[in-house]
Amino acid sequence: MSVKAEPGPGDIRRTGASKPLVEVRHLKVFFPIRQGFLVEREVGRVHAVNDVTLGIEQGETLGLVGESGCGKTTLSRAIMRLVDPTKGSIRFRGEDITEAGRRRLEPMRREMQMVFQDPFASLNPRKRVGQIIRMPLRLHGAPRDEAPDRVRELLRRVGLHPEHANRYPHEFSGGQRQRIGVARALALEPSLIVLDEPVSALDVSVQAQIINLLDDLQDDMGLTYLFVAHDLSVVRHISDRIAVMYLGKLMEVSPAQELYSKPIHPYTSALLTAIPIPDPEANRRRGRVAAGGGGTPRGGVAVVGGEPPNPVDPPSGCVFHPRCPRATELCREVEPPLARYRGGHLAACHHPLNVSREETVATTRDPSSPLSAGDVLPDGAAAEGSLGTS
């Protein structure tokens, strides 16, 4: 849209590549809360997605991570145009679909498919697997006689037997059902698949199977994934970039590996320390302690206390400040913009972690910053450890 002198948030992997497949600009999705008898008044708004700018490149996997209620699902649904945005724009292949009606959306819906979290609730229990997978084909007018072959091929593709087409969903385990959900999403050969917590309901050993399957399918078919998850351990294996969301806003956007070795935002760091490591010795060494839960930090990494605040009335300034161990007066007053660090790593924090003074001073305000954010970039003083980073 604007002059492309400065790389946008989506240009990390393929600089100079064509336009991102999906582009979201300053997107806001608010849900009104109405109350009253006879005449309903709007008494408040749930700020589900609050000014998010994000691009997804063709062929990449973007991991979208945050705790429940952070707006990640609403954002992914808004991209699919399943909920209507309040403000901002959504582009798919460069075309603005923010206001597109049913007829204009239909050809695009072929290209974006979804895999849902709950493999038990997302498959019609009264339909045979074959019918379930055939449905999108039928809706989009595929010739009837081709369908059975296509269904068999899709089932094979996701690692099920073609004969399974005649069974009902209840005859399958959770992992197998999720494979059916993937086969259904693949039926129309989409370019984008939104995966909304596709493995959260599955056992660990089965999770790995599904992640590997998704990986293979992406390699073979050049798919683009938006992978939504509530914790950072799962997305890591599949993502090229990861966006961390909190209370409707982006906290950090980073190349996948760097997020784990060098989390800049204290919230990301909190999410990482909260994940228990399946290694008793390493856990003891890490000396994790809970803050706010009655424990006293004894030199270990503090686990963030408290809970996310109510999105009806988000805190002023940085939305994470009430739970943040590094919060200062500045954080309470001024919303931090998304600062661009080396390697296309973005973080919205006044007191960044794991970066040197030089790096901090060299940051620029990324154009994807929320419009309400201030102009104050981190000045590097905090990075020197005056707040106790050692």
**Residue-by-residue DSSP string for 266-327:** HHHHHHHHHSPPS-HHHHHHHT-EESSSS----SSPEEP-S-PPPTTSPPSSSTTGGG-TT-
**296 near another protein (CB under 8 A):** no
Shortest distance, position 281 Cβ to another protein, whole Å: 8
Q: Does 33 bind another protein (CB under 8 A)?
A: no
Is 219 a binder of another protein (CB under 8 A)?
no
Spatial distance between the Cα atoms of 174 and 212, rounded to a whole number of angstroms: 16
Does residue number 299 form part of the binding site for another protein (CB under 8 A)?
Answer: no
Name the residue with tokens 């603005």: 96
Is position 156 an interface residue for another protein (rule: CB under 8 A)? no
Whole-angstrom Cα distance, residue 72 to residue 84?
15
The number of residues that bind another protein (CB under 8 A) is 50
Binding test (CB under 8 A) with another protein, winner from 230, 262, 357, 365: 230
Residue with tokens 């954010």: 373
Q: What is the DSSP string of 230-282?
A: SSHHHHTTT-SEEEEEETTEEEEEEEHHHHHH---SHHHHHHHHHSPPS-HHH
Closest to another protein by CB, 6 vs 171, is 171
Residues 6+ apart with CB under 8 A from 252: 243, 244, 259, 263, 264, 265, 267, 268, 345, 346, 347, 348, 349
- Does 255 sit near another protein (CB under 8 A)? no
Adjacent-strand bridge partners of 346? 253, 340
Sequence-separated (6 or more) residues with CB below 8 Å from residue 192? 21, 22, 56, 92, 111, 112, 113, 223, 224, 225, 226
Contact between 257 and another protein by CB under 8 A: the answer reads: yes
Binding of another protein by 247 (CB under 8 A): no
240 binds another protein (CB under 8 A): no
Q: Nearer to another protein by C-beta: 303 or 361?
A: 303
| Residue 316 touches another protein, criterion: CB under 8 A | no
Establish if 280 lies at the interface with another protein (CB under 8 A).
yes
Residue closer to another protein, measured from CB, 188 or 274: 274
Contact status: 278 vs another protein (CB under 8 A): yes
372 binds another protein (CB under 8 A): no
Which position among 187, 271, 339, 349 is part of the footprint of another protein (CB under 8 A)? 271
Of positions 96, 153, 189, 203, contacts another protein by CB under 8 A: 203
Is 305 near another protein (CB under 8 A)?
yes
Of 211, 242, 318, 346, the residue at the interface with another protein (CB under 8 A) is: 211
Q: What is the CA radius of gyration of the chain?
A: 22
Rounded-to-10 torsion of CA 10, 13, 15, 21:
-50
The verdict on 283 binding another protein (CB under 8 A) reads: yes
- Per DSSP, what are the bridge partners of residue 252? 244, 347
Minimal distance, residue 256 CB to another protein, in Å: 8
Terminal C-alpha separation, the chain: 43
**Of 233-241, 325-333, 361-369, 372-380: span binding another protein (CB under 8 A):** 233-241
What are the residues binding another protein (CB under 8 A)?
Answer: 67-68, 173-176, 203-209, 211-212, 215, 230-234, 236-237, 257, 260, 270-283, 288-290, 292-295, 303-305, 307
